[in-house]
Chains A and B, each alone.
Chain A
Amino acid sequence: MNELLRVEQLRVRIETRERQVTALDLDHISLQKGEMLALVGETGSGKSLTASSILQLFPTAAARITGGRVLFNGTNLLEASPSVMNGIRGKEISMIFQDPMSSLNPVFRIGKVMLEIIRRYTGAGKKQAKQLAEESLKFVGLPDPSGIMRRYPHELSGGQRQRVAIAMAMVCKPKLLIADEPTTALDVTIQSQILYLINKLKEEEGMSVLFITHNLGIVSQMADRIAVMYAGSIVETGRTDEVFRFPRHPYTRLLLDAIPRLRERRDRLPVIAGTAVLKEAAGGQGCSFAGRCPRATKRCTAEKPQLRAVVSSHEIACFHPWEEER
């Protein structure tokens, strides 16, 4: 069995005073060992929420998991005890964020934070921990690791901080790295460095990566497989090259068309009409994309399409997929 992570029927509701929404209604995603899966979607599609659900770390108390399973190496994390979860967070599953400052305490030197984390997770001695920290800083391409460890987070550039965050995430050699928009705040040349680094972790350390992004360009360069999310559900998933060559779900296809290309100039960009709406907890039948979909029929508004395989590993949740290549 090579499957490292499998998320099934995961439902998350967000309840505030004003409204209640089903923010996540995920059919299934799976991640093999040593594989990179890209979770793609726009704001509010639930891609970050999926990541938070896996670690059960929500940015707000209003979010609540109402059903489903998160299988990591065969154990259901949603039923795991808090102590088991704490053993998994950081050690088996690490996470890096868009803003690396969120994992770096601004009042401590880099070294202090790193050593503390290493010693907590590995039980290494002081000397050993320092060596481990220097090794991982060197791995992420930061010259002069001992110099970096003496600095404060604000003395580093955005790119350097993200490298430190990656170094911290990898010290315990986790099996799964969740990267939540790790390059969105960075410049393109720095972005390429960080992407290169994450790829290196996957190739050399055999780490599985769940890469969350809104940038389809990054996905096409990096990911083995892709899962496209819309309004809390997976609408299409498959091998990256396959999905890009032959997007079957109308949303995926429209999205790919809407992006300006580096090599080709078009006069106008095709657009998707309307805006995404999350389903209210009450009611909410049918496909969530139906209201914006050019191919929608009556059936789409009455019944929710389930994720089904069309060819081998290429799955879509749509009654009227495209049958011809792009």
Chain B
Amino acid sequence: MNSNSLPAPLPPVIEETSAGRAYKLKEFILFLRVHKLAAIGLSIIVILLIIAVIGPLISPYPDDAYKAVHLENKLLPPSWAHLFGTDELGRDLLTRTIYGTRLSFQIGISVILLSILIGIPYGLISGYFGGWVDNVMMRVCEVFLSFPSMLLSISIVALLGPSLNNMMLSIALSWWPWFARLMRSEAVAIKERGFVEAAKSMGVHPLVIIFRHIWPNSLSVIIVQISMAFGSVILTAASLSFLGLGAQPPTPEWGLIISTGRAYFLTNWWYVTFPGVFILLTVMAFNFLGDGLRDYLDPKTRNS
């Protein structure tokens, strides 16, 4: 009982009804109104996501995404026929950028999923059991963290051979320790709380404690981290492809498009500009959203 706190009104009862969900939604919309950057970030992400999902339907020249060659159209500047212009093989750059969006989201989702699948259980176990288990597991984690993540990814791809799948694997391998470490610190903090002690005293199985009590209470922190990581992952993927270590031609990957386009940078500005703007927008949008979500989900900074 904290005497300095204000009289605490009981919060309204939120039931799993349509009204309850509407209340939560209303609250979130209110939050977005105040937090303009998060709203902008979220809108950009939603638009990009729609583009990614319905890409094949809205692309003007779906065939141009991969192998088509129309040398008669090569390096045309933006026009109504080709909004983003065309490349050195006459392919429509708008189509390729749209397909690139699709690919980037696929890469982002796969990499994050893989890192979470490894990192979260790893961190939960390490943090909950503590002691020597924790010690060993965290030292392993630190081995991965001690390499600059880009360097680690490059070495792994170099070892496995450059390809899209190997690139995703290599990025996931450099990302999972971040999730593991974050999850561990959350687990360590949450396991000190009374409800974990209560569950232990009732003889609840450790795995049940981990997944029923600790995991749901750390969800908000993980969501913020995912949002932040998503942008970085897409950027890393583009960088690796740019270096020729990821997607291989003729895949319409943003980094790869820019890599080929840089030869024409001075004469045909549109070639690198549009994919570059898309990378910038995506990374920025996820960072804005991540920042906003942190404020939204952290009860300490809320209501002030």
Q: Which of B7, B11, B12, B30 contacts A44 (CB 8 A)?
A: B7
- Given A17-B30, A60-B304, residue A278 in contact with residue B3 (CB < 8 A): no
B residues within 8 A CB of A287? none
Q: Which of B1, B11, B12 contacts A43 (CB 8 A)?
A: B1
Give bound CA distance, A293 to B7, whole Å.
Answer: 21
A residues within 8 A CB of B301? none
Q: Do residues B12 and A59 form an inter-chain contact, with CB atoms below 8 A? A: no
B residues within 8 A CB of A45? 7
Q: Beta-carbon contacts of B27-60 to A below 8 Å, as 1s and 0s?
A: 0001000000000000000000000000000000
Q: Which of B1, B6, B9, B30 contacts A184 (CB 8 A)?
A: B1
- Distance of A180 from chain B, by nearest CB (Å): 6
Q: Which of B2, B8, B30, B303 contacts A98 (CB 8 A)?
A: B2
Give bound CA distance, A310 to B4, whole Å.
Answer: 33
- Distance of B26 from chain A, by nearest CB (Å): 10
> B5 near A: Cβ within 8 Å?
yes
> A251 near B: Cβ within 8 Å?
no
Give bound CA distance, A49 to B2, whole Å.
Answer: 12
Give bound CA distance, A44 to B6, whole Å.
Answer: 7
- Distance of A261 from chain B, by nearest CB (Å): 22
Identity of the chain A residue whose Cβ is nearest the Cβ of B5 in the assembled complex: A59
* Chain B interface residue number, banded: 10 to 19
Identity of the chain B residue whose Cβ is nearest the Cβ of A184 in the assembled complex: B3
Q: Which of A17, A21, A180 contacts B4 (CB 8 A)?
A: A180
Q: Do residues A18 and B12 form an inter-chain contact, with CB atoms below 8 A? A: yes
Q: Beta-carbon contacts of A173-213 to B below 8 Å, as 1s and 0s?
A: 00000001100100000000000000000000000000010
A residues within 8 A CB of B304? 60-61
Identity of the chain B residue whose Cβ is nearest the Cβ of A97 in the assembled complex: B4
- Distance of B103 from chain A, by nearest CB (Å): 41
> A23 near B: Cβ within 8 Å?
yes
Q: Do residues B30 and A14 form an inter-chain contact, with CB atoms below 8 A? A: no
- Given A23-B7, A46-B7, residue A16 in contact with residue B2 (CB < 8 A): no
- Given A16-B303, A18-B12, A278-B9, residue A48 in contact with residue B30 (CB < 8 A): no
Give bound CA distance, A212 to B3, whole Å.
Answer: 9
Q: Do residues B8 and A44 form an inter-chain contact, with CB atoms below 8 A? A: yes
Q: Do residues A48 and B1 form an inter-chain contact, with CB atoms below 8 A? A: no
Identity of the chain B residue whose Cβ is nearest the Cβ of A46 in the assembled complex: B7
Within 8 A of A (CB), among B4-20: 4-9, 11-12
Give bound CA distance, A60 to B1, whole Å.
Answer: 17
A residues within 8 A CB of B3? 43, 47-48, 98, 180-181, 184, 212, 214
Identity of the chain B residue whose Cβ is nearest the Cβ of A14 in the assembled complex: B6
Q: Do residues B1 and A59 form an inter-chain contact, with CB atoms below 8 A? A: no
Q: Do residues A278 and B7 form an inter-chain contact, with CB atoms below 8 A? A: yes
A residues within 8 A CB of B9? 18-19, 21, 278
Within 8 A of B (CB), among A20-50: 21, 23, 43-49
Q: Beta-carbon contacts of B283-304 to A below 8 Å, as 1s and 0s?
A: 0000000000000000000011
> A137 near B: Cβ within 8 Å?
no
Give bound CA distance, A46 to B5, whole Å.
Answer: 10
> A70 near B: Cβ within 8 Å?
no
A residues within 8 A CB of B4? 48, 59, 97-99, 102, 180
B residues within 8 A CB of A133? none
> A167 near B: Cβ within 8 Å?
no
- Distance of A20 from chain B, by nearest CB (Å): 10
Give bound CA distance, A177 to B6, whole Å.
Answer: 21
- Distance of B262 from chain A, by nearest CB (Å): 50
- Distance of B300 from chain A, by nearest CB (Å): 13
The 8 closest A-B pairs by CB, nearest first: A44-B7, A181-B3, A48-B3, A98-B3, A59-B4, A278-B7, A23-B7, A48-B4
Show 14 residue pairs from A and B whose CB-CB distance is below 8 angstroms, ordered by the A residue: A14-B6, A14-B7, A16-B303, A18-B11, A43-B3, A43-B8, A44-B8, A46-B7, A59-B4, A59-B5, A60-B304, A98-B2, A98-B3, A184-B1
19 more A-B residue pairs beyond the given contacts A17-B30, A44-B6, A184-B1, with a C-beta to C-beta distance below 8 A: A18-B12, A19-B9, A23-B6, A43-B1, A43-B3, A43-B7, A43-B8, A47-B3, A48-B5, A59-B5, A63-B6, A97-B4, A98-B3, A98-B4, A102-B4, A181-B3, A214-B1, A278-B7, A278-B9
Write the residues of chain B forming the contact surface with A, with a CB cutoff of 8 angstroms. 1-9, 11-12, 30, 303-304
